[in-house]
Structure 1
């Protein structure tokens, strides 16, 4: 039996300032920003499913995601797009094929929202 599971546990996102990143991501996802910052550089977002860890120790301007490594889900891509516009998020594409769009976080990480 293979000891490696076919599941993703956590995705790490490099961020420049852990407190600001925590607040931005929690606001975007409608989560309370009251969790503990671990070891001075990690914040575990309380996600459903695969986890996201913000990490300021791995941040460097040339080490941000230039293409999305994952996507956040939505049930309504149009509402998600309008929501992101209302938050003045840096949206970097239109809605593609009625399914997804790209945006950047404040550190320049390219991310995606996709309708499931």
Structure 2
């Protein structure tokens, strides 16, 4: 059966309370320059390879905080990634699980994951 809906994810929206602080934090952990433009006063598009991430302060509310990771960031070295995040004083929720992934929180409490690819 043909479908006009593609088997691709275009972007993931993450609710954040302060767009400037969120931009700086995400860019820092991803090793990116935080010099991109904030659009419409509430949106920052993180330059990614593949599926995009959009930080959006307009959709932020306590109810919209993501409590279960909806996606994961890839890494080739899970131990190095864990130590990097620990050094950055990121709120780590788990240790490295099954030698494969760990969970953490962004400053707004959104749950995220890094997984060995």
* TM class by smaller structure: over 0.9
TM-score normalized with structure 2 length: 0.98
Runs of 4+ in 1 over 6 A off after TM superposition: none
1:3 is displaced (CA, Å) by: 1.1
Distance apart, 1:2 and its partner CA: 1.7
In the alignment, what sits opposite 2:33? 32
Q: Which residue of 1 aligns with 2:101?
A: 100
Q: Which structure 2 residues correspond to residues 76-91 of structure 1 after superposition, within 5 A?
A: 76-91=77-92
Alpha-carbon shift at residue 45 of structure 1 (Å): 0.1
Q: What does residue range 1-116 of structure 1 map to in structure 2 within 5 Å?
A: 1-116=2-117
Unaligned runs of 5+ in 1: none
Q: Secondary structure at the match of 1:80?
A: helix
Residue 114 of structure 2: SS of its match in structure 1?
Answer: strand
Which structure 2 residue ranges, 5 or more long, are not aligned?
Answer: none
Number of equivalences: 116
Offset from partner CA, 1:37-71 (integer Å, 9 cap, x none): 00000000000000000000000012111000000
1 CA distance for matches of 2:27 and 2:95? Answer: 24
RMSD: 0.6
> TM-score, length-normalised on structure 1?
0.98
